[in-house]
Amino acid sequence: MSSRINSKKISVENKSIKSGSMDEKPLFGFDLFDDLHDMYFLLDTTCEILKLNRKAADVIKVNLSFKPTNFLDLIDLCNREGVNNVFFQCISFNKTTEIETQLLLDKKEIEVRISFSFHTLNIGGRKTECVFTVVKDITEEKTNEIELQKFFNIVESSLNPIQITDFQGKMIYVNPAFVKSSGYEKEELLGKNPRIFGSGKLNKKFWDKMWQTISSGKVWFGEIEDRKKNGEPFYTQLLISPIFDKDEKVTGYFGIHRDLSEKRTLEKQLIHTQKMESIGTLAAGIAHEVGNPLASISALVQVAQRSTEDVFIKEKLNLVKSQVTRISKIIRDLVDFSRPSNFELQRVNINECLKEAVEITKVGTKAKTIDFNVKLSDDIPNLPLVADQLEQVFVNILLNAVDAINEVTDEKKEKRISIESALSKDEAIFTFTDTGSGISEENLTKIFEPFFTTKSQGRGTGLGLWVSYGIIKSFQGKLEVQSNSGLGTTFTIKLPVEK
């Protein structure tokens, strides 16, 4: 501690006195500063301590085993040269200078901001150059800065969208996750009210209650539906916490979102699955109730056909018989879906099964002008399945693709169905892509429902994809669809592979 940097002396004669100097005033009582919170020193041009206030004396007394005479003895060794340079800038240019550094005391290190200001004082009738020095303890300020920086880094890297608004609700900060989720640029969001995301699904009473809660200083929590810049829905769980100042007044609000999009998708899938299970439970009973009267009708039609030679009557009876056959097929599909298959699981070569389904589809007259592009991977292992059921699924999808292509009125458009198989990690994946008319977005969520069909009346029962969905689910697999209206459709089947 005894080592110090010798200060350069500046002669009074060579020093010009700037305006604001105190050379005509007597030395005031330094005890004026005793009741102030900061440390005050009066130094000569060699950094020797001439005066200090009570706060400075107390800090030195408590934290140092000796009483320093030079101000630089209080400065951390690594920073003394920097402080000394700032000190001489103050004297050389007669201006106030500042520096942030550390006081090195015996028991602790204090972060401080030092301010030097040069003055010429009249001491005992003699002009004396002095440096008035204020030392402010900024340890807490620095700690807060570090904590704030940590908080900023956490918020910036958070995967959850976060926003901060002022008291009026205008956004003053959004993190990168919020920018990504909303689809807006950061510049488009700052200064705007979050209502720009509003979907209109929640009424005014809902938002009034939210504002009433956070304005009273309480935390609000709820689920909301917003709209991204492109119009897509954005489901989040939102927590809003008031931000208080030192007087416990609300100055702003901190909002953190948790993306619920995946949760909502899973909920929809669960509801859909439960709906399919409920319909399947009812299917057996419906089939029984319809099947018995249908058998009687079929028998009576056959008796009537044998009992008449009238051409008109026979034509109408044949029409009735064809409708009875159609209803019988619907009943069989219902029964197949509603009860577990009696077929025994066997190791099936899925590629061979797929090839047979393609050949069956090609036989139909509607498929004569369609090109079937088949690319099958040899890596697909034999899996424990029911071959007939799996082939039924393939045929159902292929026939739907044929019908979709035949609905296209543009004769120049390519008529093609692409069938591919591939092995990916723990799944065997099969895709069926057609160049047909596609499926509208509103119908995509309905195509696996029973009796739903986009075909004209009498051309489809609306049970093919429903039954296919049930079969694939029974194999612990997935049946998915992607489509763009007018561009075509892709069905994807994913079957688990045993390791």
In 249-394, at which residue ranges do the beta strands (DSSP E only) sit?
250-259, 346-348, 371-375, 383-385
Residue 273 maps to which CATH number? 1.10.287.130
Same structural domain, 240 and 279: no
Instruction: Report how far residue 475's alpha carbon sits from residue 351's, in angstroms, rounded to the nearest whole number.
Output: 16
Are residues 207 and 330 both part of a single domain?
Answer: no
Q: Which residues contact 243 (CB under 8 A, 6 or more apart)?
A: 164, 250, 251, 252, 253, 254
Domain that holds residue 446: 342-496
Count: domains in the chain: 4
Q: Evaluate if pTM is beyond 0.75.
A: no
pLDDT tier at 462 (50, 70, 90 boundaries)? low
Same domain, 201 and 116: no
pLDDT of residue 234: 85
For every residue of 66-126, DSSP letters joined together read: S--SBGGGGB-GGGHHHHHHHHHHHHHHT--EEEEEEEE-SS-EEEEEEEEEEEEEEETTE
Look over the chain and give the mean of its residue pLDDT values, rounded to a whole number: 82
**129 and 44 in a common domain:** yes
Q: How far apart are CA 468 and CA 411, in angstroms?
A: 31
Confidence class of residue 333 from pLDDT cuts 50, 70 and 90? Answer: low
Last residue of a domain, one of 286, 304, 339: 339
Q: What pLDDT is attached to residue 455?
A: 62
pLDDT at 8: 40
Instruction: Mean pLDDT check: name the lowest of 277-286, 365-374, 488-497.
Output: 277-286
Whether residue 7 is contained in a domain is answered as: no
Tell me the pLDDT tens digit for each residue of 65-102: 778 889 998 998 889 999 999 999 999 999 999 999 99
For residue range 239-286, list pLDDT tens digits in order: 999 999 888 899 999 999 998 877 777 776 666 666 666 666 676 677
User: Stretch 356-368: mean pLDDT, rounded?
Assistant: 81
User: Are 322 and 185 in the same domain?
Assistant: no
- Shared domain for 166 and 282, answered yes or no, is no
Give me the pLDDT at residue 15, please. Answer: 37
147 within domain boundaries: no
435: buried, middle or exposed (CB in 10 Å: 19+, 13-18, 0-12)? buried
**Residue at 150 is within a domain:** no
pLDDT of 131 strictly over 90: yes
Residue pLDDT, tens place only, 44-53: 999 999 889 9
Tell me: pLDDT of 341 over 70. no
Does the structure show a pLDDT above 50 at 16?
Answer: no
Of 393, 273, 282, 399, the closest CA to residue 335 belongs to 282
Please tell me which residue, 449 or 231, carries the higher pLDDT value: 231
Q: 294 pLDDT exceeds 70?
A: yes
Region 297-312: mean pLDDT is 85
Last residue of a domain, one of 308, 339, 370: 339
Asked whether the beta carbons of 302 and 343 are under 8 A apart, the reply is no
Give 123's pLDDT tier (boundaries 50, 70, 90). Answer: low
| Rounded Cα–Cα distance for residues 197 and 229 (Å) | 8
Q: What is the Cβ-side half-sphere exposure of residue 185, based on CA atoms within 13 angstroms?
A: 2
In a domain, 366, yes or no: yes
- What the block records as the tokens of 417 is 């169905």
How do beta strands 250-259 and 22-26 pair?
Answer: unpaired
Query: For 381-398, how does the pLDDT look when each residue is reduced to its tens digit (9 = 90+)?
Result: 999 888 878 888 998 899
